[in-house]
Amino acid sequence: MSKEYEKKNKVMTFFDLISAPLSYKIIIDLDLIFFTISYILILMMFLIFDLIRFYSIWIIILFTAVSFLLSLVIMKPERFIGKNKFFEGEQKKKKSEEKKRLPIMIFLKKFIVILPRIAFFNILHNFFPIFIIFIASIMFFYISGTLSIANASNFLQAATLIGIILGFFQYYLNRYEEKTQQIIVTKMSAFTGIVVKQASFINFRKFIEKKSKESTMTRNKYSNFQKDILNKAVENPLYKLKDKRLPGKDIIHYQPQFIVGGGEEFLFGLLESEIENDEQEKQLIEFYKEFFEDVKKTTEEKLKKDAGRMEELAKLLFSNINIVGEARISFINAIYDIEKYEEPVNYTEFLIKTNYEIMNEILTKILIG
């Protein structure tokens, strides 16, 4: 298979999907649609049950416009800020990049299945704040004498009952979201934990030692790095390394012992502190790239063997209550974070980038197919 064919038929990943300007537009439009439906349902409820009466059709139009815009300004202020320049720039950038093939039918099939659930919870999620603003608008128009309340007692009872029900639902929704998010984070951490374990300082040292013993033209650079930088970091008084050889075997088991601080970032920090010039820094980044490619491959192999947990995560994601407005903020944060770590320069950034890549693959497999 030629490289040109691969480029033309490259499948869109989850991060490609959420960073696409069209995806952002769909989220924004869905958010407004659900918001509008919530408002219309509340208005219809008050009119059908004859809780409020207007003196003319123009008063109805004026009341609807004022209360709707007031709700929009309070709940969706970003609508009045202007065009998002970030996504405008993204759109221009995407045009110059290679086109990626999106398995659209698979994605639409999954999206249509969860759309009724998303619509139901998003509409109800908007109910409570819109209801409060709606009641405030009724009071204003009532005081100004442009509308009347048909039966004050019925109105008060209905408003109280609806408010209590919506308040309880809002509480349930927040609690459910909070608990579900905790479970999702825990399950995601199990996958990212594989990356952290594989990207240990001990494994990095083994990687360099293995490369330095290979009979290739480039093995000297690994040997020199091991001698000039890696060994100095290990000999640092802040860190000791014991080599234990199992009886009758040639396998060395490294046991790091921390004197000050702790964790892999601390150990790699010692390594990076031994860098003395730009050439050494470039070399370390090059070795990090190779090492984290190995980490990524090992993690992918382990994930293939762990299909059960992947299926559990998929069910959890599809059964989660997704509030569109919150998803929009999460997508923007993810896009900025992905771009931030595109060119990592130290261990921590390489680790974060690799975690993002693994999460991208997992979510692509689950949500896109």
pLDDT digits (tens, 9 = 90+) for 4-39: 434 444 556 666 666 666 666 677 788 888 999 999
For residue 39, the model assigns a pLDDT of 93
Quote the CA–CA distance of 202 and 212 in Å, as a whole number.
15
Q: For 280-317, how does the pLDDT look when each residue is reduced to its tens digit (9 = 90+)?
A: 899 999 999 999 999 999 988 888 877 777 777 777 77
Mean pLDDT of 255-271: 61
One-letter amino acid at 325 equals G
Give the count of beta carbons closer than 10 Å to the beta carbon of residue 131.
22
Mutual angle of helices 57-75 and 104-144, in 10-degree steps = 120
**248 torsion bin: left (phi>0), alpha (psi -120 to 50), beta (else):** left
Tokens encoding 244:
């234990």
| Contact criterion met (CB below 8 Å) for 21 and 94 | yes
Quote the CA–CA distance of 44 and 148 in Å, as a whole number.
16
Reported in sequence order, the residue ranges of the chain that DSSP labels E, i.e. its strands, are 52-54, 147-149, 239-245, 252-258
| Contact criterion met (CB below 8 Å) for 206 and 244 | no
Mean pLDDT of 140-159: 88
pLDDT class for 47, splitting at 50, 70, 90? confident
Q: In the chain, where are the structural domains located?
A: 3-176, 201-368
pTM beyond 0.85: the answer is: no
Quote the CA–CA distance of 129 and 113 in Å, as a whole number.
28
